[in-house]
Amino acid sequence: MDILEFFQKRRSIRKYQDKEVPKEALEAILEAGRIAPSAMNAQPWKFIVVTDADTIRALAGTTPYNFVAKAPLIIVACALESQATLGPRFDVAIAVDHMSLAAANLGIGNCWVAGFDREAVRKILGVPEDVDVVVMMTFGYPVEEPRPRPVKDMSEVVSYERF
Ligand SMILES: Cc1cc2nc3c(=O)[nH]c(=O)nc-3n(C[C@H](O)[C@H](O)[C@H](O)COP(=O)(O)O)c2cc1C
């Protein structure tokens, strides 16, 4: 599939089969994050892989999004301190998007979750105080094919030469 068509077809997936993500697929997803670009090549990230059912239940309790509890795999992405011009969260977001797209390419659905209690997640996973809990991403084989969300028209988001 052409890469643009792949991007056009990608959707956030929030309903998952009761089936675990195989180790090889998880490793490919993590590799996509590991090699992502970052400002000054600082790679200011740590990805915490969670598959334990009790921990997933605990993470789900930190967010209003019920689908989190049904995900067989969650990766919690954290930002380490760095001198990156835009701040390490930007780099982490890029790495997480790499993982999202790598997973989609393997037929594994996923969804960003940014709405959660970061301090609660910090306690559950033992994240040190100087490390920033940025985002959780849920993964699993899809049981839904969501319709495309409305996106802004090209003319609204692009201008040429001047603002
Ligand atoms: C940074 C970021 C944070 C997001 N946080 C959440 C979230 O907390 N809960 C949720 O259900 N979806 C979340 N999403 C998914 C968006 O709602 C979704 O990407 C958007 O509606 C477009 O839909 P699509 O991904 O299917 O194209 C987030 C997406 C991004 C990029």
- Output the CA torsion sign for 156, 105, 18, 56: negative
pLDDT in tens, 89-105: 999 999 999 999 999 99
Q: What is the mean pLDDT of the chain?
A: 97
CATH architecture assigned to 9-72+88-142: 3-Layer(aba) Sandwich (3.40)
Cβ neighbours for 146, distance < 8 A, ≥ 6 positions apart: 11, 12, 13, 14
Is it the case that residue 79 has pLDDT exceeding 90?
yes
Q: Cα(111) to centroid of ligand 1, in Å?
A: 6
Indicate whether residue 67 lines ligand 1 (CB < 6 A).
no
Per residue in 34-52, pLDDT tens? 999 999 999 999 999 999 9
* pLDDT exceeds cutoff 90 at 83: no
What is the band of 84 on the pLDDT scale with cuts at 50, 70, 90?
confident
Nearest CA to ligand 1 atom 25: 12
Cβ–ligand 1 contact at 12 (below 6 Å):
yes
The 3-class SS string of 27-46 reads: HHHHHHHHCCCCHHHCCCEE
Beta bridge partners of 137: 75, 112
Q: Which of 8, 12, 118 to mutate to test the pocket of ligand 1 (most atoms within 8 A of CB)?
A: 12
Atom number, ligand 1, closest to the C-alpha of residue 67: 11
Say how far apart CA 19 and CA 6 lie, in whole Å. 24
Map out the domains of the chain as residue ranges.
9-72+88-142
CA of 12 to the centre of ligand 1 (A): 7
Which tens digits make up the pLDDT trace of 135-146? 999 999 999 999
Per-residue pLDDT band at 118 (split at 50, 70, 90): very high
Whole-structure pTM value: 0.97
Reported as a pLDDT band with limits 50, 70 and 90, residue 82 is confident
